[in-house]
Structure 1
Amino acid sequence: MSTKPNHLSEKKPLASKLQQNGSSTSNTNKMKTPVVPNKKANMKNTKQMKKSKFSKSTKVQPGSTDGQRKWTTLVHNGVIFPPPYQPHGIKILYKGKPIDLTPEQEEVATMYAVMKDTDYMQKPKFLENFWNDWRRILGRNHVIQKLDDCDFTPIYEWHQQEKEKKKQMSTEEKKAIKEQKMQQEEKYMWAIVDGVKEKVGNFRVEPPGLFRGRGEHPKMGKLKRRIRPRDITINIGKDAPVPECPIAGESWKEIKHDSTVTWLAFWNDPINPKEFKYVFLAASSSLKGQSDKEKYEKARMLKDYIHNIRAAYTKDFNNKDKDPTKRQIAVATYLIDKLALRAGNEKDEEEADTVGCCTLKVSNVECIPPNMIKFDFLGKDSIRYENTVEVELPVFKAIGQFQAGKGENELLFNALDTSKLNAHLKELMPGLTAKVFRTYNASITLDQQLYEETEEGDVAEKVVVYQKANKQVAIICNHQRTVSKTHDSQILRLTERIETAKQELKELKIDLERAKKGKPPLKGADGKQKRNLSPEAIEKKIASANQKIEKYEMDMTTKEDLKTVALGTSKINYLDPRITVAWCKRHEVPIEKIFNKSLLAKFAWAMDVDPEFRF
């Protein structure tokens, strides 16, 4: 299923073309295996890939990585800003007395008040950071001098009332608001790249708010200030009209015409100024699709190099040269290869104390004789990585020697950093990085798991086989999630369904015995007389009841098995989609059972793959 964007051939100015409504048409190439859309599957999978409306932060610099031209002409309308704050006039209480606040002070107080029911209110760091930032806005001489003496309940109750009003709105009112919003955003949704109308990804600037972060982030509770046009750099074609600045009296920070990058706009993250937020074309765009394909082809190319790379780092485990870097690089490369560890970057004092391979501290690694290593550290997004693995004996000895004479907070790989490691990796294979290793190991694991398993049974059973293979990848990549708040209730509901189905089965078996003797069925649980059915008809019902029980039991086992594993992350970022599409074709599984609507659009380029494709 491949989607091709409309080629806009009208002889109108490019700027005016972007003002038009309309969406891309699509041409569909049929897969060799019939694929039937499944709305429930899409809704279910959407939970795995719930995309933010706003750009994520990244340390990737705005400059080009390879210097190659990505486009010739580029036209777009910039970004859309959140509406200005509308004061509500509800007063907070300080030592029991109502306090007047300026609109700016009230806005930040409201951000805090609406979080009353969240776990953040129990986190001292969140409270401390909020108070420090709000106090600066209040001013040194403000009557409010202590957060503990503030009562935000009036604003919280007002917010709850406003939420309830929205719930009580009629369908027509909600529809009208949605249509108005769509009209306001329409012109920002599209860009024209080399004459082709392409959808833009996250074109909305995030509104101000309180930073939450993941895990125990040291900056949780800090105020994310409002982003202004003066913060934003726009990238367009040389002959393209400059996007109109939507806020009167303001102007863009800078206008660039860099055809070697694919971003349309960027600005510095308000919480971590060394990081950047970008506006790119949507995942379904041809430019992004080509980039994805190149990424997976690079990882696939590693197959041709991996044998020599492993032979090289194995040889260097025992390197006795005066330069300790070579031996540390060998061990680090081994860990990145075998455990799919991220490379890791040096952190500022105010950043979360997360760790990657190059930034492992002595305290993060425990040597357990004869050759077991226990890892325990906070990885990306403050997710704990705890794993005990068997390693080759020379690696075990080397790590023990790297630890010798060092304090707990000293670096394990003190002669190594990410730039040195990646420079070495590029010598082994063009473009090789720790992330390429990660993508390779994730994809090769899925490919092998799906080929080793015997996919028998119906579609539901085959999907379980896929999920188990996907789980193995998620474990390798340390893609964890907290157990859903609804998990226990879902398990309880399935248990009740199983018990009900088993009771029905028990009654059907009694009815079958009576039917064979020419007797009518017993009355049902509701006291009503059941219909007389032939033994053959009852046997069909028994078979159906057994299938129902099997399905419920399989669903319960799968839910329990996957409750702490995030399957979506690897599917979006690390698994070559051609592996999945080829597997679906081979085993007649509708692709919608595995990919939701967003992934189908993102990986349109992979849909024509041969069923016998191997990573």
Structure 2
Amino acid sequence: WEEERSPRGVRWTQLEHRGPCFAPPYEPLPDGVRFYYDGKPMKLSLAAEEVATFYGKMLEHEYTTKEVFRHNFFRDWRKEMTAAERKVIKRLSKCDFTEIHRHFADRAAARRALPREEKQRLKEEAEKLQQEFGYCILDGHREKIGNFKTEPPGLFRGRGDHPKMGMLKRRVLPEDVTINCGRDSKVPEPPAGHQWKEVRSDRTVTWLAAWTENVQNATKYVMLNPSSKLKGERDWEKYEVARRLKGVVDEIRSRYRADWKSREMKARQRAVALYFIDKLALRAGNEKEEGESADTVGCCSLRVEHVQLHPEADGCPYVVEFDFLGKDSIRYYNKVPVEKPVYRNLQLFLENKDPGEELFDRLTTASLNKHLQDLMDGLTAKVFRTYNASITLQGQLRALTRAEDSIAAKLLSYNRANRAVAVLCNHQRAPPKTFEKSMQALRSKIEAKKQQVAEAKAELEKARAGHASREDGRSEAFLEKRRRRLEKLEEQLVRLGTQATDKEEGKQVALGTSKLNYLDPRISIAWCRRFGVPVEKIYNKTQREKFAWALDMAGEDFEF
């Protein structure tokens, strides 16, 4: 959720919208749904009850088994209680949220079981809300808004082992929201009885509303839909900067290699950091917001404790072992052989330092990006990540794709290429809870299909024997029918096998982040057109809207 600025030189003149759509007020629990403490029913105040429902809804989720989540929730929940409630409720282990959980589970089941007419009515209400809040007027054109609803209150989950998981995400109020609209446009009306925090007209940015959430103190934005003209131009500009890097990257690499021997320690540290950003697609890392407790780092903020040097490991000389928490508290662990000058410099940087001291103590993200800006206009550490991701995808697609392969095999090659990028960028995920169950179902389908293939082969042999004895037109047609049936079943078996391989290989890799944010979509679209793969197999409808500009521009001969 970065603050998105308009493409260079682009300034909108008119921007009019309704503002964000706020989460509905809390609905108290029915009288028959009770909270219990130490085995006894207890009526909670409205504020405490609302927070209790957040936990109750998640009662069977893995998060509620984690000590950090439970600790943070209980601490924040007690802040919402009355003094009398705090006197009674002192231990989470004595709290019973069972009825609350059952109430919301029953409600969800009832929603799923609604008759078609009622579901249609709800769909129409959602569409009415979309029409009211989901569009803006930008320079005379009606543009779709991406996320027009504020996030409802709840419990923060985070990714990885986030130290703030379980904390209370407070309700966003109009008083928290800054509105951005045209100077001469009608300012949206806040909900009755409320007022906006601020109204401004900043024509250099592409967001419509902004507020700061309370858990990580991060700014959240209401943005234009990815399919909007401005967003498309910004996407195009991002990838064009990365493509320009391709023309000067060899010169930049030569320069940072030369700086490994610089007499100036700052230049040496910058050169080694840039090598890691280039070679390993590490994030540069930014200074944390005040009060942010998650111990996450990037390349520039690595500490001595995050690296270990091995003269030799796994049969390779000069190996660096990284182990740290990156963005979203996702662990980055990697053992990588490096060039001898890099290894020697790291030994120098580590000398006489305690584990908690910075590895690159003469370097900041700002100074690194300033240096990169001097090397190429628009170049930042993040551009290296985009460039290396896109180049990796293009190279992998060339190496893995065969024109004679089936569509299913080509898609497996595409996903393998995408996985290489995800591994490079450390886009991990925990295996889905339903992974083993769905894999078992897929294996069962494969076994059933194998049985069908075996039966079809037996039927074909039988038909051949019958045809040899008769050799008439009728038996020839029957034989051809059996051949086609066997071919179809064998194709289905191959497709299922490919799906199983793809699923197994991708169970711990998140493909979406790189595909939507780091890979030039023109590479994927050109590949689809070159090898006869429907673009719909790579990008869903929403993603095709986001990359409409690329669909117009990418011919099958496109090169990143």
Q: 2:440 aligns with which of 481, 484, 492?
A: 492
**Contact 1:515–1:533 (CA<8 Å) still a contact in 2?**
no
Shift of 1:498: 2.6
Q: Quick check: 1:236 aligned with 2:236?
A: no
Instruction: Point out the more displaced range, 595-604 or 464-473.
Output: 464-473
Q: What's 2:212 paired with?
A: 268
One-letter identity of the residue aligned with 1:280: M
Task: Provide the rounded CA distance (Å) in 2 between the counterparts of 1:128 and 1:507.
Answer: 59
Q: 2:542 aligns with which of 598, 606, 612?
A: 598
Q: What's 1:512 paired with?
A: 460
- Taking a change above 3 Å as real, the CA distance of residues 366 and 174 of structure 1, as seen in their structure-2 partners, is same
Q: 1:562 aligns with which of 493, 496, 506?
A: 506
Per-residue deviation, residues 26-45 of structure 1 (Å, max 9, x unmatched):
xxxxxxxxxxxxxxxxxxxx
- Taking a change above 3 Å as real, the CA distance of residues 488 and 120 of structure 1, as seen in their structure-2 partners, is closer
Q: What's 1:126 paired with?
A: 69
Task: Provide the rounded CA distance (Å) in 2 between the counterparts of 1:482 and 1:161.
Answer: 28
**Contact 2:36–2:97 (CA<8 Å) still a contact in 1?**
yes
Q: What's 2:278 paired with?
A: 337
- Taking a change above 3 Å as real, the CA distance of residues 546 and 67 of structure 1, as seen in their structure-2 partners, is closer
Extract unaligned runs of 5+ from structure 2. 312-316, 469-474
Q: How many residues align?
A: 543
Q: What's 1:407 paired with?
A: 354
Q: 1:294 aligns with which of 222, 237, 248?
A: 237
Task: Provide the rounded CA distance (Å) in 1 between the counterparts of 2:431 and 2:534.
Answer: 28
Shift of 1:114: 1.3
Shift of 1:400: 1.7
Q: TM-score, normalised to structure 2's length?
A: 0.92
Per-residue deviation, residues 463-503 of structure 1 (Å, max 9, x unmatched):
12211111111111111111122222332223223322332
Extract unaligned runs of 5+ from structure 1. 1-56, 521-530
Shift of 1:368: 1.5
Per-residue deviation, residues 516-536 of structure 1 (Å, max 9, x unmatched):
33399xxxxxxxxxx997444
Per-residue deviation, residues 401-447 of structure 1 (Å, max 9, x unmatched):
21121122221111111111111111111111111000000111112
Q: Percent same amino acid among aligned pairs?
A: 48
Secondary structure at 1:607 match in 2: helix
**Contact 1:75–1:193 (CA<8 Å) still a contact in 2?**
yes
Secondary structure at 1:250 match in 2: coil
Equivalent residues in 2 for 1:179-198, closer than 5 Å? 179-198=124-143
Secondary structure at 2:233 match in 1: helix
Equivalent residues in 2 for 1:107-256, closer than 5 Å? 107-142=50-85, 143-246=88-191, 248-256=192-200
- Taking a change above 3 Å as real, the CA distance of residues 112 and 487 of structure 1, as seen in their structure-2 partners, is closer
Q: What's 2:471 paired with?
A: none
Shift of 1:354: 1.4
Shift of 1:162: 2.0
Task: Provide the rounded CA distance (Å) in 2 between the counterparts of 1:197 and 1:375.
Answer: 49
Per-residue deviation, residues 105-138 of structure 1 (Å, max 9, x unmatched):
2111111111110122222221221122221221
**Contact 1:374–1:386 (CA<8 Å) still a contact in 2?**
yes
- Taking a change above 3 Å as real, the CA distance of residues 504 and 168 of structure 1, as seen in their structure-2 partners, is closer
**Contact 1:234–1:266 (CA<8 Å) still a contact in 2?**
yes
Shift of 1:282: 0.4
Shift of 1:286: 0.4
Task: Provide the rounded CA distance (Å) in 1 between the counterparts of 2:551 and 2:173.
Answer: 41
**Contact 2:161–2:330 (CA<8 Å) still a contact in 1?**
no
Shift of 1:515: 3.2
Per-residue deviation, residues 264-286 of structure 1 (Å, max 9, x unmatched):
1101112122x200111100000
Q: 2:414 aligns with which of 456, 459, 466?
A: 466
Shift of 1:184: 3.1
**Contact 1:215–1:381 (CA<8 Å) still a contact in 2?**
yes
Task: Provide the rounded CA distance (Å) in 1 between the counterparts of 2:326 and 2:443.
Answer: 36
- Taking a change above 3 Å as real, the CA distance of residues 339 and 460 of structure 1, as seen in their structure-2 partners, is same
Shift of 1:65: 8.5
Instruction: Point out the more displaced range, 284-293 or 302-311.
Output: 302-311
Secondary structure at 1:198 match in 2: strand
Q: What's 1:50 paired with?
A: none
One-letter identity of the residue aligned with 2:539: F
Task: Provide the rounded CA distance (Å) in 2 between the counterparts of 1:66 and 1:410.
Answer: 39
Task: Provide the rounded CA distance (Å) in 1 between the counterparts of 2:124 and 2:204.
Answer: 36
- Taking a change above 3 Å as real, the CA distance of residues 547 and 162 of structure 1, as seen in their structure-2 partners, is closer
Shift of 1:170: 1.0
Q: Which has the higher helix share?
A: 2
- Taking a change above 3 Å as real, the CA distance of residues 303 and 67 of structure 1, as seen in their structure-2 partners, is closer
Secondary structure at 2:220 match in 1: strand
Task: Provide the rounded CA distance (Å) in 2 between the counterparts of 1:123 and 1:553.
Answer: 37
Once superposed, which parts of structure 1, at least 4 consecutive aligned residues long, lie more than 4 Å away? 64-69
Q: What's 1:74 paired with?
A: 15
Task: Provide the rounded CA distance (Å) in 1 between the counterparts of 2:199 and 2:525.
Answer: 41
Shift of 1:326: 0.7
Q: 2:396 aligns with which of 446, 449, 459?
A: 449
Task: Provide the rounded CA distance (Å) in 1 between the counterparts of 2:489 and 2:273.
Answer: 54
Task: Provide the rounded CA distance (Å) in 1 between the counterparts of 2:360 and 2:7.
Answer: 29
**Contact 1:362–1:411 (CA<8 Å) still a contact in 2?**
yes
Greater relative CO, 1 or 2 (CA 8 Å, sep 6+): 1
Per-residue deviation, residues 217-267 of structure 1 (Å, max 9, x unmatched):
121111111111111110111111110112x11111111011111111101
Equivalent residues in 2 for 1:34-53, closer than 5 Å? none
Q: 1:259 aligns with which of 203, 207, 230?
A: 203
Q: 1:579 aligns with which of 517, 523, 534?
A: 523
Task: Provide the rounded CA distance (Å) in 1 between the counterparts of 2:444 and 2:152.
Answer: 44
Q: Quick check: 1:436 aligned with 2:383?
A: yes
Q: What's 2:24 paired with?
A: 83
Secondary structure at 1:158 match in 2: helix
Q: What's 1:310 paired with?
A: 253
Task: Provide the rounded CA distance (Å) in 2 between the counterparts of 1:594 and 1:372.
Answer: 37
One-letter identity of the residue aligned with 1:507: E
Q: What's 1:54 paired with?
A: none
Q: What's 1:43 paired with?
A: none
One-letter identity of the residue aligned with 2:225: A
One-letter identity of the residue aligned with 2:385: R
Q: 1:502 aligns with which of 440, 450, 456?
A: 450
Q: Quick check: 1:364 aligned with 2:312?
A: no
Instruction: Point out the more displaced range, 303-312 or 147-156.
Output: 147-156
- Taking a change above 3 Å as real, the CA distance of residues 245 and 455 of structure 1, as seen in their structure-2 partners, is same
Shift of 1:68: 4.7
Task: Provide the rounded CA distance (Å) in 2 between the counterparts of 1:79 and 1:288.
Answer: 19
**Contact 1:131–1:147 (CA<8 Å) still a contact in 2?**
yes
**Contact 2:7–2:230 (CA<8 Å) still a contact in 1?**
no
One-letter identity of the residue aligned with 2:438: Q
Q: TM-score, normalised to structure 1's length?
A: 0.84
Shift of 1:215: 1.6
Secondary structure at 1:305 match in 2: helix
Per-residue deviation, residues 128-166 of structure 1 (Å, max 9, x unmatched):
211222212213343323323222222222222322322
**Contact 2:300–2:364 (CA<8 Å) still a contact in 1?**
yes
Secondary structure at 2:23 match in 1: coil
Secondary structure at 2:207 match in 1: coil
**Contact 1:455–1:465 (CA<8 Å) still a contact in 2?**
no
Shift of 1:66: 8.6
**Contact 2:207–2:224 (CA<8 Å) still a contact in 1?**
yes
Instruction: Point out the more displaced range, 389-398 or 98-107.
Output: 98-107
One-letter identity of the residue aligned with 2:309: C
